A = this chain, B = another copy of it.
């Protein structure tokens, strides 16, 4: 009935929606495209799948090309396959989204790609269906951050509770009550107070916390599905 050799073959691309947080706002890393079509326009970082790499590997490679970092949160979002989404040639694009600490990337590489960070609320026009990809990624991030502790991926190893709250406020574009927020994140029992204080931002200084990954997975293994309670809703 079906024969492999008779079938059409396709270009397969990977596009990365790269989220970052600068302490104030949720941001997106975009590049200025340096090849046709759409040369010079803003675009997600992308690249083509190669014969001997898996999708996840390829997405990691592409992300690494731009940021110089490895081992970061990177998750498949959705495959986009409208017939004319790329006018040059039919291309199936598999979108991934990444969460990075905005200060951990290689500034040189970013400069080479003429990339820069944009506020999520003030994006330039994007090529092809990249706008749609960004919207889907934001939706996913909002959902994910409400149910699993991924927020930490966007912060440095040690962070303060006011920082964490600002992050959530910018993800959901809303204000949260300080006391309720603290009570909630602390009640999960996966944040540890390092007793160090960060003093550059405020006069009083705020305690630095770490996310206790081991404790979190231990709780998950124990079937404790209430470790992380929705922050929104």
Residue in contact with A79 in the complex, picked from B50, B89, B90, B94, CB distance below 8 Å: B94
Establish whether residues A92 and B1, one from each chain, have CB atoms under 8 Å apart when the complex forms. Answer: no
Q: Is A55 part of the contact surface with B, judged by Cβ < 8 Å? A: yes
Contact at A4–B88, with CB atoms within 8 Å?
Answer: yes
Q: Is A225 an interface residue (CB 8 A)?
A: yes
Partner of A55, one of B9, B54, B92: B92
In the complex, whether A47 has a CB less than 8 A from a CB of chain B is yes
**In the complex, are the beta carbons of B233 and A48 less than 8 A apart?**
no
Mark A41-56 against chain B: 1 for CB-CB distance below 8 A, else 0.
0000001111111111
Give Cα A53 to B51, complex, Å: 24
Q: Determine if A34 is an interface residue (Cβ-Cβ < 8 Å).
A: yes
List, in ascending order, chain B residues with CB within 8 A of A12's CB: 9-10, 12, 81, 92
Closest to A50 in B: B8
Instruction: Give the distance to chain B from A41, nearest Cβ to Cβ, in Å.
Output: 15
Give complex CA distance A228, B52 in Å.
Answer: 44
Q: Is A3 an interface residue (CB 8 A)?
A: yes
Partner of A81, one of B3, B10, B55, B233: B55
Binding site for B on A (CB under 8 A): 1-4, 7-12, 34-35, 47-56, 76, 78-83, 88-92, 94, 225, 233
How long is the Cα–Cα vector from A11 to B51 in the complex, in angstroms? 11
The residues of B that contact A233 with a CB separation of less than 8 Å are 225
Complexed CA–CA distance, A146 and B163 (Å): 31
A9 to B89, CA, bound (A): 11
Q: Who on chain B is nearest to A13 by CB?
A: B7
Q: List 29 A-B contacts (CB under 8 A).
A: A1-B34, A1-B35, A2-B35, A3-B35, A7-B11, A8-B48, A8-B49, A8-B50, A9-B10, A10-B11, A10-B49, A12-B12, A12-B81, A12-B92, A49-B92, A52-B83, A53-B83, A54-B81, A54-B82, A54-B83, A55-B79, A55-B80, A55-B81, A55-B92, A76-B78, A76-B79, A79-B94, A81-B94, A225-B233
CA distance A49 to B91 in the complex (A): 12
Task: Give Cα A89 to B3, complex, Å.
Answer: 11
User: CB within 8 A of A7: which of B3, B48, B56, B94?
Assistant: B48
**Per a CB cutoff under 8 Å, which of B7, B51, B81 touches A90?**
B51
